[in-house]
Amino acid sequence: MSTSSTSHATPRETTEGTVYTVTGGDWDEVVEAAAKADDERIVVNMGPQHPSTHGVLRLILEIDGETVTEARCGIGYLHTGIEKNLEYRTWTQGTTFVTRMDYLTPFFNETAYCLAVEKLLGIQDDIPDRATIIRVLLMELNRLSSHLVCIATGGMELGATTIMIYGFRDRELVLDIYELITGLRMNHAFIRPGGLAQDLPPGAVDQVRAFVKKMRKNLTEYDKLATGNPVFKGRMQGIGHLDLSGCLATGATGPVLRSAGLPHDLRKSDPYCGYETYDFEVPTTDTCDAYGRFLLRLEEMRQSLRIVEQCLDRLEPGPVMVGDKKIAWPAQLALGPDGLGNSLDHIKKIMGTSMEALIHHFKLVTEGFRVPPGQAYVAVESPKGELGVHAVSDGGTRPYRVHFRDPSFTNLQAMAAMCEGGQVADVIVAVASIDPVMGGVDR
C-alpha cells in the first residue's frame, strides 16, 4: 500500500460533526497523525446560567487545553425594554423604570435621569439644597452597597465564602437605611425630577451616623481577611490584566480604569450635585489587575463614608422639591397599612381646599408636566464607572427617547482583552473584577 505524506484530507463540517476523509497510508500512520492533530481546541459556553457569572451573562470561550484562546460575550438574556417603555410613561413615572436598570445602583440611575430631565427643564439651580445633599448621601450609601456585593460575590466565586458572608452582612446594614428612608430595599423611585419623593423620616440621621461608625470598624476586617492573605493575593494578582491603553481602547471607566493608574472620576473632573464642595480622595492603583480593583473598592468605600458624614453635617431644614407647582409632584407620602402611598390627610386637604387644586393635582398625576423640546446629556460616577443619560424631548409630557450609557455594558468590552491567553479558571476572576450587572447591560 502506498503511503502519502498527508494521512488525511482537509476535514469538512457536517451535521454529525467533523468528518475526515483518509486518503492513504497504513492504519498506524493515520492514528499517529490523528494523535498529533490539535484536537484539544474546543468551544464551551460559560453561562448564561453559570454559578460564577454575574446574572445571565453568557461567555463563549474557545479553549486549548486549559488556556483561553478566544473569548466573547453573549448578552441580551435579561432584556427588559426599559428604555422603550420610558417613551410611554410621563417624565416622573420614568424614575420607576430607570431605578430597575442596574438594580445594584438604583439611586445613581434615578439621579442621572432626573439631572437630565432638570437640565431640559432649565431648573438645575432651583433644586433645594436639602434635596441635593440627600441625593449625594443616598448615592454614596449606594456606592457602599454596590461595592459590598462586588466583593462578596467575587469572594464567593473564588471559594472565599467568609468574604461573601461579611459582604452581605454589611450590605444588609445599608439596605436597612434604604428601607427606613424610602420604604424599600431596592427599586426606590425616590429621587424625582425637581427633588425627592419625600423628606428624611425621623431618626434617619442618627441611624446613618451609627452605621458610619460601625462600617468603619467592619471595613478593617476585609483587610485582615483578604488584603494580605497569600492565597487570596495569589488568586487575584496578575489576573484580568488591562493596562491604561487597553482601558482607553475599550472605553472602560470606574475601578477598571483607576486600577491602571488614571485618577479619572466624574465627581472631580465634571462635578454635579455640588461634589466639588466635598472633601474626598480618588484612589488609584497601578497593578492593572483584579487585586488592584479589590483594593480600590475597599478604599472607595472609606471615601464614601467620609462624604456621607459631610452630608449629615450639612443637612439643614428646608424643602426637598422645587417650588414650581407645575413641576412639583403634589404627593405627600405616608407609610400606611398597605405600604408607602399618599397620606390620607393630604388627600382630604386637596379634596376640601378648592376645585382648582383638585383639577391641578389630577392633571399633574395623570398627564404629567411638559418638557421643552431639546436634548441633554448628563453623566454621573456610578460605582462601576461613567453612567450617562441622553434624554430627548419633543415638547410633550413623555420622553421622545432616553438612552443610558451604562458602564457595565461598556466595561464588558474589555472582557476578551482580560481573558484571552489566561486560564479558564481565571475568566471568573476577571469578570468578577469588572463587576457587570446584566440589568444595566441589557436595559
In a shared domain, residues 27 and 94:
no
Q: Residue 300 has what pLDDT? A: 94
Sign of the dihedral through C-alpha 44, 250, 438, 185: positive
Domain membership of residue 166 (yes or no) is: yes
Q: Which three cell numbers stand for residue 404?
A: 443610558
In a shared domain, residues 7 and 110:
no
Query: CA-CA distance, 115 to 389, in Å (whole number)?
Result: 9
Domain membership of residue 347 (yes or no) is: no
Q: Residue 72, Cβ neighbours under 10 Å: how many?
A: 14
Query: CA-CA distance, 356 to 340, in Å (whole number)?
Result: 26
Q: Rounded to two decimals, what is the model's pTM?
A: 0.86
Which residues are paired to 58 by β-bridges?
Answer: 74
The stretches in the chain having pLDDT less than 50 are 1-8
C-alpha gyration radius of the chain: 26
In a shared domain, residues 28 and 151:
no
In a shared domain, residues 26 and 154:
no
Range(s) of the domain holding residue 28: 1-37
Q: Residue 6 has what pLDDT? A: 44
> For 422-439, what is each residue's pLDDT tens digit?
888 889 899 989 989 988
Provide the H-helix boundaries in 315-372.
344-353, 355-366
Query: CA-CA distance, 162 to 149, in Å (whole number)?
Result: 13
Residue 259's nearest CA partner among 235, 280, 283 is 283
Domain membership of residue 344 (yes or no) is: no
In a shared domain, residues 155 and 251:
yes
H/E run at residue 391: strand 385-393
Q: Residue 8 has what pLDDT? A: 45
Query: CA-CA distance, 78 to 406, in Å (whole number)?
Result: 14
Domain membership of residue 42 (yes or no) is: no
In a shared domain, residues 100 and 238:
yes
In a shared domain, residues 131 and 26:
no
Domain membership of residue 113 (yes or no) is: yes
Domain membership of residue 390 (yes or no) is: yes
Buried b or exposed e, range 387-414, using 16+ CB within 10 angstroms: bbbebbbeeebbbbebebbbbbbbbbeb
Query: CA-CA distance, 248 to 201, in Å (whole number)?
Result: 43
Pairing of strands 385-393, 401-405: antiparallel
3-state secondary structure of 20: coil
- Where do the DSSP E strands lie in 201-349? 333-336, 339-342
In a shared domain, residues 2 and 103:
no
Domain CATH number, residue 295? 1.10.645.10
In a shared domain, residues 286 and 425:
yes
Q: Is 352 exposed, middle or buried (0-12, 13-18, 19+ CB in 10 A)?
A: exposed
In a shared domain, residues 128 and 22:
no
In a shared domain, residues 28 and 163:
no
Domain membership of residue 310 (yes or no) is: yes
Q: Residue 330 has what pLDDT? A: 63
Contact 103, 187 (CB under 8 A): yes
> For 157-211, what is each residue's pLDDT tens digit?
888 889 999 999 999 999 999 999 998 899 998 999 999 988 898 899 999 999 9
In a shared domain, residues 96 and 1:
no
Q: How many residues does the chain have?
A: 443
Domain membership of residue 361 (yes or no) is: no
Q: How many domains does the chain have?
A: 2
